[in-house]
């Protein structure tokens, strides 16, 4: 049977779905139904669902939702049932659904709008959530309510935190509003900072921290205590521990979202960073969405994935999408005949058929890996190599015939080898076990509503970014200085990944072991051959295609050359 995007289909329907998908893509004929979620995008799957039911499929519907219709409905019922009324056309009401076999939409909408004929269209579950979000706002407590909070009050422990509910207590309402707004804006992080005269929060969206929103300074300790309470940590820990790590879960229209919490002391107070691990709107598939790599990159990745044993390392700064890409690779490798184990902190994306293990503290790492090795694995994903112990265990796993996927923090792919050496691993061990060194960046994509043409790039910018004279006359794009309403004034809409891959072939491995070539010389050699993808060339390709601008590329990639 098929389970996709939270919906389970019976054997008969699953069979029809498989037949329809195979007609669209013959390569899916031999795929096990349990692997479909890892092999096709949500759009393709839902289009097949619509076709089976002779219904139209619309991947984007949120913008057509009429607030007056949704105001008459209970958001929790719509979310639970997977449907949303969109608009009225004469005597008909258009209703978006995610499961055509469910009668929930017919029963509920007929009761709310008995005079209208129901016309259903199929869309993505995420679009139904967006439709509901578009009109479900939470204004939060007023400034006067915040100022009136008694700071000596204490809160009872909260088991679950629903950020789309209304709370009488202003502090609970404040935090619920902030977190709901963060999810709605697709923020990756929420920052709370205490400075000399201000206390504020800000969201990081598409890699950039947005505007600061001030909170009354006297509430800093109360807010701090409330967040610690959500994680069931004693409030006194903030005065005795320089750094505090924790996790809690929020409920957003019945969708659970994990929050990774980090707090450290500062000169004026503290700095809190909360990472939102929201996969509800993420389609993790190689070649699709934010991982829409070009054909050359996908071909190079296919070759890497076919390697039977060894280490595949993904590098890049925090927030560059390393883990997302590795999870997409795991989905491609995830077939019934392999045993895949992961060790992560935290588990960010659960894949059906993969055994995910959560690392509670650093002391668990070595015994967990030792246990992994006795659990008959074919593929092991280690969240990160950060010290000599984790590096040695990755090497040991690869030497004993396992395929190991992991991440590491280095600016360039070639520096992965040097980083392993810095951790204390001999060059020959690295050369013999490392099969692919990869580096990734997420580049901001220009907003389609406010991007505009620019004829050529000026002399100064060409010198700064090492561009040849042909760029003086090429048509490129940038955005309006103040952006537009659609992109919330940023000029960008989402991000796309670019990748650099250095394969370590047997010949290259031998040269590295003997010291006949340095990692940097290997990188230059591959760039000169011009066959494999690298960050600079892929960034310039996005620029030439009008998908991004020079500022976005220069912010994420070292564009300097040796010429």
Reported as a single tens digit per residue, the pLDDT across 121-145 is 999 888 888 888 766 655 566 666 6
Mean pLDDT, the chain, rounded, equals 84
Reported as a single tens digit per residue, the pLDDT across 292-307 is 677 777 888 888 888 8
The mean per-residue pLDDT over the stretch 187-197 comes to 91
pLDDT at 562 over 60: no
552 burial via Cβ count (<10 Å: 0-12, 13-18, 19+): buried
CB 96 within 8 A of CB 128: yes
Q: Do domains 3-135 and 143-277 have the same CATH topology?
A: no
Q: What is the DSSP letter of 188?
A: S
Q: What CATH number labels 3-135?
A: 3.30.300.160
What pLDDT does 201 receive? Answer: 95
Q: Which helix (H) or strand (E) holds 265?
A: strand 255-265
Q: Which two tokens mark 503?
A: 């394969």
What pLDDT does 155 receive? Answer: 47
Q: Which two tokens mark 422?
A: 């810095």
Reported as a single tens digit per residue, the pLDDT across 37-62 is 777 888 888 999 999 999 999 988 88
Tell me the Ramachandran region of residue 97: left when phi exceeds 0, alpha when psi lies from -120 to 50, beta otherwise: beta
- Helix locations, 407-518, DSSP H: 415-422, 427-433, 459-464, 506-514
The mean per-residue pLDDT over the stretch 331-354 comes to 82
What pLDDT does 139 receive? Answer: 57
Q: What CATH number labels 289-556?
A: 3.40.50.300
CATH architecture of 143-277: 2-Layer Sandwich (3.30)
- Rounded to 5 degrees, what are φ and ψ at 147? -65, -25
Confidence bin at 158 (pLDDT 50/70/90): very low
Local structure of 365: helix, strand or coil: helix
Q: What is the pTM of this model?
A: 0.67
From CA 64, how far away is CA 50, in angstroms rounded?
A: 19
- Helix locations, 136-169, DSSP H: 143-147
The mean per-residue pLDDT over the stretch 58-69 comes to 85
pLDDT at 270 over 70: yes
Give the chain's radius of gyration (CA, Å): 26
Domain ranges of the chain: 3-135, 143-277, 289-556
The mean per-residue pLDDT over the stretch 98-110 comes to 90
């Amino acid at each position: 049977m098929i389970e996709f995007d939270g919906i389970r289909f019976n054997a008969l329907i699953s069979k029809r779905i498989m037949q329809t998908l195979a007609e669209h893509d013959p390569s899916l004929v031999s795929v096990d139904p349990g692997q479909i979620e890892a092999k096709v995008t949500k759009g393709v799957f839902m289009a097949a669902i619509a076709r089976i039911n002779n219904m139209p499929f619309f991947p984007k519907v949120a913008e057509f939702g009429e607030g007056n219709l949704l105001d008459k409905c209970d958001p929790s019922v719509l979310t639970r049932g997977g449907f949303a009324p969109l608009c009225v056309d004469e005597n008909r009401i258009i209703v978006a659904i995610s499961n055509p076999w469910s009668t929930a939409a017919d029963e509920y909408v007929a009761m709310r709008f008995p005079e209208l004929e129901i016309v259903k269209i199929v869309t993505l579950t995420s679009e139904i959530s967006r439709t509901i979000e578009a009109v479900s706002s939470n204004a939060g407590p007023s400034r006067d309510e915040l100022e009136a909070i008694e700071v000596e009050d204490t809160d009872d422990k909260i088991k679950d935190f629903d950020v789309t509910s209304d709370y009488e207590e202003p502090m609970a309402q404040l935090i619920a509003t902030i977190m709901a707004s963060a999810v709605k804006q697709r923020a990756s992080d929420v920052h709370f900072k205490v400075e000399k005269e201000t206390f504020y929060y800000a969201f990081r969206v598409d890699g950039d921290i947005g505007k600061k929103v001030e909170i009354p300074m006297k509430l800093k300790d109360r807010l701090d205590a409330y967040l610690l309470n959500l994680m069931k940590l004693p409030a006194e820990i903030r005065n005795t521990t320089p750094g505090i790590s924790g996790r809690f879960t929020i409920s957003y229209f019945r969708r659970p979202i994990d929050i990774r919490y980090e707090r450290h002391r500062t000169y004026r107070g503290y700095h809190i960073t909360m990472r939102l691990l929201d996969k509800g709107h993420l389609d993790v598939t190689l070649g699709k969405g934010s991982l829409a790599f070009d054909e050359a990159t996908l071909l190079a990745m296919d070759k890497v994935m076919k390697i039977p044993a060894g280490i595949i390392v993904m590098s890049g700064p925090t927030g560059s999408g390393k883990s997302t890409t590795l999870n997409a690779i795991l989905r491609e490798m995830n077939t019934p005949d392999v045993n895949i184990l992961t060790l992560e902190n935290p588990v960010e994306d659960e894949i059906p058929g993969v055994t995910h293990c959560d690392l509670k503290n650093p002391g668990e790492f070595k015994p967990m890996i030792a246990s992994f090795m006795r659990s008959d694995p074919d593929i092991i994903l280690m969240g990160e190599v950060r010290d000599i112990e984790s590096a040695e265990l990755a090497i040991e796993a690869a030497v004993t015939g396992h395929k190991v996927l992991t991440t590491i923090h280095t600016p360039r792919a070639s520096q992965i080898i040097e980083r392993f050496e810095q951790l204390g691993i001999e060059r020959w061990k690295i050369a013999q076990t490392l099969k692919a060194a990869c580096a990734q960046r997420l580049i901001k994509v220009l907003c389609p509503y406010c991007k505009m043409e620019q004829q050529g790039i000026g002399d100064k910018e060409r010198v700064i970014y090492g561009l040849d004279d042909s760029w003086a006359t090429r048509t490129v794009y940038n955005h309006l200085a103040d952006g537009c309403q659609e992109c919330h004034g940023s000029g960008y809409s989402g991000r796309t990944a670019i990748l650099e891959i250095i394969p370590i072939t047997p010949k290259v491995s031998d040269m590295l072991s003997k010291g006949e070539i340095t990692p940097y010389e290997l990188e230059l050699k591959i760039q000169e051959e011009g066959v494999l993808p690298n960050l600079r060339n892929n960034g310039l390709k996005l620029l030439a295609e009008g998908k991004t601008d020079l500022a976005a590329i220069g912010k994420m990639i070292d564009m300097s050359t040796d010429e």
